[in-house]
């Protein structure tokens, strides 16, 4: 299972705004282009493990600061979808 976690974490840590929007649409989560840009800029190069609940919570807090609490909740839903087994 670690290989899948590594693949997903790598994708999260290298995601573009366009990819983020695509995944959000796939899971019926609404984010604007500006929010997707801010979030993807924050994620790139951070090496965050979204399977670690502490790291994911810190990430969601940072996203709330950058894009607002509602967007952070929506992104958290998306991250939870990615981590479901």
Taking only the tens place, the pLDDT of each residue in 13-39 is 999 999 989 988 888 888 889 888 988
User: Is 31:39 a contact under the CB 8 Å cutoff?
Assistant: yes
The token duo for 23 is 């995944």
What's the rounded Cα separation, in Å, for the pair 38 and 50?
Answer: 18
Whole-number pLDDT of residue 54: 94
Number of domains in the chain: 1
User: If we measure between CA atoms, which residue out of 81, 75, 50 comes closest to residue 63?
Assistant: 75
pLDDT grade, residue 10 (50/70/90)? very high
Q: Which domain holds residue 68?
A: 2-83
Q: Give pLDDT, residue 85.
A: 59
Cα–Cα distance, 34 to 10 (Å, whole number): 22
């Amino acid at each position: 299972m670690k290989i899948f976690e590594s693949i997903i974490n790598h994708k999260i840590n290298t995601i573009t705004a366009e990819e983020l929007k695509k995944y959000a649409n796939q899971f019926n989560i609404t984010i604007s282009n500006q929010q997707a840009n801010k979030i993807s800029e924050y994620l790139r190069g951070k090496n965050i493990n979204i399977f670690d609940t502490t790291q994911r919570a810190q990430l969601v807090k940072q996203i709330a600061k950058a894009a607002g609490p509602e967007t952070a909740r929506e992104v958290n839903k998306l991250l939870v979808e990615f981590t479901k087994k």
